């Protein structure tokens, strides 16, 4: 028996990918039903046009591109013909957009960093697509939602020493402890800047100090602590997602100032938060992963998979964090700031 040639193996792999197609992780963005739909994969953008079929049909088909459904099953469940599904799968495969496994004991350090940065760029932009930000700038959301965003960000920043300390306490490679310790020192007291923002918005200091975070904020903080407890590489990779980026700084600061004006607050209330962002950018915290991988070298494949999954979960924690802000602070009946419920409240 002769071993299959490389070309034959490649053909067999391609056939398997197409028969049970699974898309690489992606996100979709469009401004209106009349505008083109963008498919975003890492730092690459693909424009999806509606030459035939509808956007809804395409997204329904995409839902089943998970590697668990055959072409025939996708066609049946999406209510389209098999030839159309196969054509989509083949096109995606030609563009390198279908999931491909490769035998790999470890991921080269440089490739790991580049892939994490590309994924965080994609997920960071997806986080920025949340209706919280567009709604604040357009004035479609109540002014109190802007206050809520600053208040919940205060709680979140105040918790930084908690999850960084957890990462230090559970660090699984002693060579990374100095890096995490420096990070802890540089992030220790940034919440005071957001306290100043809230005071400029007219929130009494005693109300801020006794404020209770909404559940989405607690979930975000607890997820960061859990990731820090589980896996040091995952935690450091997550800083690539949540730390301020120099490329986004100018646009972010202007967006904050516009949102403050639209919400009816003095523009100056955004300045302490902008200062916090500037300090993080200057400290280069978004580059912590680069430093860590420079110490660790190539990353075992199992560790790379774990880091990516934790990072993806964190992305969804940010979505819930923003959902919680919109939901709680849009309700005119809710206490702002949120207060704790004690026994005598019952």
Query: Where in the chain are the domains?
Result: 6-94, 106-345
CA distances from 324 to 255, 271, 310, 340 (A): 20, 24, 21, 17
Q: How do strand 106-107 and strand 44-48 relate by DSSP bridges?
A: unpaired
Tens of pLDDT along the chain (346 residues)? 344 444 444 555 778 888 999 988 887 877 677 777 888 887 777 887 776 678 888 888 989 999 999 999 999 999 889 998 999 899 889 988 898 887 889 999 999 999 999 999 889 988 988 999 999 999 999 999 999 999 999 999 999 999 999 999 999 999 999 999 999 999 888 888 899 999 999 999 999 989 999 999 999 999 999 999 999 999 999 999 999 888 888 888 999 999 999 999 999 999 998 998 898 889 888 999 999 999 999 999 999 999 999 999 999 999 999 999 999 999 999 999 999 999 998 9
Q: Which of 200, 201, 222 is nearest to 213 (CA)?
A: 222
Backbone angles phi, psi at 210, to 5 degrees: -95, 5
DSSP 24: P
- Smallest Cα–Cα separation from 153: which of 196, 224, 213? 213
At residue 23, φ and ψ (nearest 5 deg) are -75, 145
Q: Cβ atoms within 10 A of the Cβ of 83, count?
A: 10
pLDDT at 24: 87
CB 266 within 8 A of CB 183: no
Kindly give the interhelix angle for 71-78 and 82-94, rounded to the nearest 10 degrees: 120
Class of CATH domain 106-345: mainly alpha
What's residue 6's pLDDT? 42
Q: How does pLDDT run across 160-209, given as a tens digit for each residue?
A: 999 999 999 999 999 999 999 999 999 888 888 899 999 999 999 999 98
Phi/psi for 63 (5° steps) reads -55, -35
List the beta strands (DSSP E) in 11-127.
27-29, 37-41, 44-48, 106-107
Partnered with residue 37 across adjacent β-strands are 48
pTM confidence score: 0.86
Joined together, the tokens standing for residue 6 give 């490389």
Closest CA to 287 of 116, 153, 171: 116
DSSP labels, 227-247: HHHH-HHHHHHHHHHHS--HH
Tally of helices (H runs) and strands (E runs) in the chain: 17, 5
CA distance 290 to 338: 39
- Output the pLDDT for position 29: 78
Instruction: Tell the burial category of 86 from Cβ atoms under 10 Å away from its Cβ (0-12, 13-18, 19+).
Output: middle
The answer to whether the bond into 206 is cis (omega within 30° of 0) is no
Is the domain spanning 6-94 CATH 1.10.3470? The answer is no
At 154, list the tokens.
Answer: 């205060």
HSE-up of 11 (CA within 13 Å, CB side)? 5
Q: Using CA atoms, how far apart are residues 259 and 266, in angstroms rounded to an integer? A: 10
Give φ, ψ of 221 to 5 degrees. -65, -45
Distance CA 85, CA 69 (A): 12
**What pLDDT shows up at residue 48?**
78
Instruction: Provide the pLDDT for residue 33.
Output: 74
């Amino acid at each position: 028996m002769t071993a299959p040639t490389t070309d034959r193996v490649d053909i067999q792999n391609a056939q398997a990918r197409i028969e049970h197609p699974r898309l690489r992780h992606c996100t979709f963005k469009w401004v209106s039903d009349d505008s083109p739909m963008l498919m975003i994969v890492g730092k690459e953008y693909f424009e999806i046009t509606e030459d035939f079929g509808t956007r809804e049909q395409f997204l329904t088909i995409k839902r089943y591109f998970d590697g668990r459904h055959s072409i025939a099953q996708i066609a049946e469940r999406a209510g389209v013909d098999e030839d159309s599904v196969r054509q989509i799968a083949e096109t995606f495969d030609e563009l390198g957009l279908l999931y491909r496994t490769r035998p790999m004991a470890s991921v080269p350090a440089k490739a790991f960093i580049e892939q994490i940065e590309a994924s965080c760029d994609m997920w960071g932009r997806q986080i920025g697509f949340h209706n919280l930000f567009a709604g604040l700038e357009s004035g479609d959301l109540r002014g109190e939602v802007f206050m809520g965003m600053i208040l919940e960000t205060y709680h979140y920043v105040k918790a930084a020493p908690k999850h960084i300390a957890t990462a230090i306490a559970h660090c699984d490679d002693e060579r990374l402890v100095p890096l995490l310790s420096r990070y802890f020192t540089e992030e220790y007291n940034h919440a005071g800047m957001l306290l100043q923002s809230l005071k400029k918005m007219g929130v009494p200091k005693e109300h801020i100090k006794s404020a209770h975070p909404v559940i989405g904020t607690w979930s975000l903080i607890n997820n960061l602590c859990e990731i820090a407890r589980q896996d040091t590489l995952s935690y450091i990779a997550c800083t690539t997602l949540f730390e301020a980026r120099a490329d986004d700084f100018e646009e972010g600061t202007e967006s904050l100032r516009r949102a403050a004006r639209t919400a009816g607050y003095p523009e100056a209330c955004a300045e302490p938060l902008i200062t916090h962002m500037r300090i993080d950018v200057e400290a280069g915290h978004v580059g912590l992963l680069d430093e860590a991988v420079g110490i660790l070298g190539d990353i075992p494949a199992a560790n790379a998979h774990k880091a990516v999954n934790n990072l993806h979960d964190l992305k969804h924690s940010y979505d819930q964090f923003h959902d919680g802000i919109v939901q709680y602070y849009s309700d005119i009946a809710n206490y702002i700031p949120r207060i704790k419920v004690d026994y005598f409240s019952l």
